[in-house]
Amino acid sequence: MEATRKLEGRHVLVTGAGSGIGAAIATALAAAGARVTLAGRRAEPLQALAEQIGTSQVQAAHGFDVTRADAIAGGLQAARAAFGPIDILVNNAGEAPSAPFEKTSLEMWSRVMAVDLTGVFQVTQAVLPDLKLRGEGARIINIASTAGLTGYAYVSAYTAAKHGVIGLTRSLALELAQKGITVNAVCPGFTDTPLIAQAIETIMAKTGRSREDALKEFTRSNPQGRLIKPEEVADAVLWLALPAAGSINGQAIAIAGGEVLAG
C-alpha cells in the first residue's frame, strides 16, 4: 500500500506497542509520516523499537498501564507535551491466558477484563477530548480478535472481552460519527507473534509434540493454513487511519485468511 507521508502531522498513540502486532502497527504508521507515541508498561522493548524505527517522530511512553487511570493520565500528559494532541488512537494492549472454563479463576477473569476490555474503555475515554478537538479525520482503531467474532475453547475470558471490544466499537461508532471520528475494530486470527511462539513452546513441553505439530494447533482454523503476519494487521490499521477510509465506520474487520466470513 502506497501511504508515504499521508499521515504527516498526525499524532498516533499505540498501546501495547513493545512487540508483535503493536510494534508492526507503530512501524507502519511512522513510515506513513505520523508522530507515534509507543505506549506500554516496560521501557526496554519500547526504547528498542523507537531506536529501530530511528526517527525523532517516535517516542516511548513506558509505565503506561491501561488498567490504571493515573498511569494513563501521566502517559498522555507526556505524549501531548512532546507531540501535541492525539489524532489517532490504536488500542492494542491485551492479554490472552488459557484455561478451561471451570479452572478459570475470578482473578484471571477480572485481569483479562481489566486489560482487554476496561483498558480500551479507560484509554479511549481519556483520549476522546483530543479526538474531538481534531474532529474530521480522527480515528479510534481497536485491535480485537477473531475470538470477538466467534468462539474459542479454553480462552473464555479473552473471548468474552474481545466480544465486548467489538460491541464497544460499534456503539462508539454511532455516538461519534457526527464528530468526524471513525471507530473500527481489526480482528486478527492467530498471528506470528512472541505470544504464539511461547504457546507453541508450552505445547511442545507439555505434550512432547514436534514444533510442526504444535504449530498446527494454530494454523488449522485458517483456510490458508498459516499464521497471520503482524505486518498484515498493521496494513489494515494503516488503511483505516488514512483519510481515504473516512467512510469506514463501526466495522469489525477479520484478518484471518477466510476463517471468519462474516462479522
- Greatest alpha-carbon pair distance for the chain in Å reads 55
CA separation for the pair 72, 63 (Å, rounded) = 9
Using CA atoms, how far apart are residues 26 and 257, in angstroms rounded to an integer?
Answer: 23
Active-site residue list? 158
Whole-angstrom Cα distance, residue 243 to residue 153?
38
Query: What's the grid cell of residue 242?
Result: 488514512
* Euclidean distance between CA atoms 204 and 198, whole angstroms: 10
Type and span of the H or E element at 110: helix 106-113
Return d(Cα 38, Cα 59) in angstroms, integer: 6
* H helix runs in 5-105, sequence order: 20-31, 43-53, 69-83
